Amino acid sequence: MAIDQQQEKLKIIIVGAGICGLACGAALREHADVTILESVAEIKELGAAVHLAPNAHRLIQGWGGDLYQYGAVPNRNVREYTKDGHVKYNIPVDTLAEFGYEWVLCHRVDVQAELHRLATRPDGPGAPCKILLNSRVVTCDPEEGKVTLKDGTVMTADAIIGADGIRSAVRAAVNPVFSSSPSSHSAYRFLVPMEKIKQHPDLVELGVTEALTMIDGVDRRIIAYPCRNKTLLNFVVCLPDSELNEISEEKWSAKGDRDALLKSFETFLPVHQKLLSQAEEIGLWQLRDQEPLNQWAKGRTLIVGDSAHAMLPHQGQGAAAAIEDAEALGFVFSGANITREQVPELLQRVFRLRYRRATMVQQASRAAGLGDMMKKASGFEGGKMPELFSNMMAFRKFNMSYLGAQDWEANHQDYVLPVDAVKDGVLVV
C-alpha cells in the first residue's frame, strides 16, 4: 500500500548486508527510507554455494528476483550413499509441481548479487536502499533506535534491524545473555570446476554432476551439488572438530588443508576419496548454532537472520529462514500511515510471527546434524518438540510449503506466538 503523501517516510537502518540484510532491504524499500550499514569494504559472500528451497525461492521471485539469470540449477534428485557405497535413498524431486517453485542450487555470490540488485535497483518499489560500506556498528541503543559506528559516527532511525550475523553486535544490545556455541563439528567448503569432475567417469557415475548427493559416514559426511549452470560442483564436508587443529573456540574459520581432509576420509571408498581429492582452494568453518532466544525485539530494534536464530546447515534452511524474516518485516510494515510510535509494536509482531517457525527449523537442523530427529532435538519452547518432527516428509512439507507472513498469520495460528506469550518483549511461556 502506498504511504500517505502527507506523512514523512519511516527511516530504517539495517545492520549487515549479508543475505538477510539485503533481503530486508528488498522487502522494506517500498515502505521506508532504508540505509544498510555493512562493516566490510566490499560485499563479497564467502563460502561456496547455497541451496534455496521453494519457501525462499518463492519470496525472492515475489520481489521480482531471478536467480536463473546467474545459472541457478533446479534440484531434481536427492540421493544418499553410505560410505560403503550402498544407496540409502535416491529420490526424484519436483518441487515446481509440488509447491509451485523450484528448489534451486545457487552460488552464494549470485544470491547475494541478486538480493543486492533487488535492494538497490532504481526501478524498484519506493526508493533504492543506500548501502554504506566500511561502516561497522559497535554499539546499539535499542530503545532509542541509535547505532554508533567504529569511527564514532552516531546514526538514528525509527527502526534498527540487526542482520549482522552470528557474531551480531545488535544482538548484544537486544539480548546479551545468549551467544552461539560450537556444535563439535566443522565443515570444509570448496568448489571444483565441473570439467575436472567430468574427466572421471566413476565420479560422474556417483551422480554428483546432476543431483544433490550425500555420502554418509555417521560422524562425517560429504555433500556435493552442482551450481551455476552445472559448471561448478559445490562441496560441504562435515567432520568432528576433534580431528582439526586449525579450529578452536576462538578461531571459527581457517584455510583448509587438503591432506588433512583426505586423511579424515581414508575409511571411505577410493572413489569418494578421489572425489575429495579434486579440491583445490579449501575453506574450513566451525559449525555453530545457538539456543532459541527468548527476545528478538527491544524498543525500536529487532534482530533477524543468523543474528536471531543461527542454525546448523543440516536442513539447508538458514538463509531461507533469514529471507522469510525479511519478507515478514515487509509484510508488517506494509500498512498505510505507519507512525514512528507504532514501530516497537510492529517489531514485536514480527517476533511473534516468526519465532516458532524459525525455532522449529533451527531445532530440526540441530537434530538432523545429530542424526536423530526426534530424540536429540532440544530447546524448543517448553522443552517439547511438535508432533511434526516425527515425520520427515511432513516436516519437509512444513518447510517448503510456506507462502509468506500474511498467510502464516491468517492460517497458521498454532505457529504464531499469542500476544500474551510475550511480556515486555520477552517470551514467557
User: Can residue 27 be called a binding residue for ligand FAD (CB under 6 A)?
Assistant: no
Select the residue interacting with ligand FAD from 322, 347, 405, 416 (CB under 6 A).
Answer: 322
User: Can residue 316 be called a binding residue for ligand FAD (CB under 6 A)?
Assistant: yes
Residue 402 annotated in active site: no
Fill in the DSSP letter of residue 86.
-
CB of 3 to ligand FAD, least distance (A): 26
The answer to whether 13 touches 159, Cβ cutoff 8 Å, is yes
Gap between the Cα atoms of 312 and 326, Å rounded: 20
Count residues near ligand FAD (CB under 6 A): 34
User: Can residue 112 be called a binding residue for ligand FAD (CB under 6 A)?
Assistant: no
Select the residue interacting with ligand FAD from 72, 104, 163, 214 (CB under 6 A).
Answer: 163
Q: Which residues of 212-245 are buried (b: 16+ CB within 10 A; e: fewer)?
A: bbbbbbeebbbbbbbbbeeebbbbbbbbebeebe
Q: Pick the catalytic residue: 81, 101, 188, 225? A: 225
Gap between the Cα atoms of 351 and 328, Å rounded: 9
CB of 420 to ligand FAD, least distance (A): 29
* Per-position DSSP letters for 165-196, written without gaps between them: -TT-HHHHHH-TT---EEEEEEEEEEEEEHHH
Gap between the Cα atoms of 197 and 426, Å rounded: 51
Residue 354 annotated in active site: no
* Per-position DSSP letters for 351-418, written without gaps between them: HHHHHHHHHHHHHHHHHHHHT-HHHH----GGG---GGGG-HHHHHHHHHT---HHHHHHH-GGGS--
- Burial category of 302 from C-beta neighbours within 10 Å (exposed 0-12, middle 13-18, buried 19 and up): buried
CB of 384 to ligand FAD, least distance (A): 25
Q: Show the binding pattern over residues 249-288: x = contacts ligand FAD (CB under 6 A), - = does not.
A: ------------------------------------x-x-
Pick the piece of the chain touching ligand FAD (CB under 6 A) from 192-200, 214-222, 263-271, 315-323.
Answer: 315-323
Gap between the Cα atoms of 275 and 284, Å rounded: 18
User: Can residue 37 be called a binding residue for ligand FAD (CB under 6 A)?
Assistant: yes
Residues between 212 and 241 that touch ligand FAD (CB under 6 A): 236
The answer to whether 342 touches 326, Cβ cutoff 8 Å, is no
Select the residue interacting with ligand FAD from 114, 164, 324, 381 (CB under 6 A).
Answer: 164
User: Can residue 169 be called a binding residue for ligand FAD (CB under 6 A)?
Assistant: yes
First-to-last alpha carbon distance for the chain, in angstroms, is 35
Pick the piece of the chain touching ligand FAD (CB under 6 A) from 90-98, 157-165, 253-261, 329-337.
Answer: 157-165
Select the residue interacting with ligand FAD from 10, 13, 17, 358 (CB under 6 A).
Answer: 17
Report the residue number, 284 or 338, with the smaller CB distance to ligand FAD: 284
Gap between the Cα atoms of 231 and 113, Å rounded: 18
Report the residue number, 118 or 322, with the smaller CB distance to ligand FAD: 322
SS3 240: strand
Pick the piece of the chain touching ligand FAD (CB under 6 A) from 85-93, 161-169, 326-334, 418-426.
Answer: 161-169
User: Can residue 162 be called a binding residue for ligand FAD (CB under 6 A)?
Assistant: no
Q: Catalytic residue positions?
A: 189, 225
Which stretches of the chain bind ligand FAD, using CB under 6 A? 15-21, 37-40, 50-51, 136-137, 163-166, 169, 187, 189, 236, 285, 287, 305-306, 313, 316-320, 322
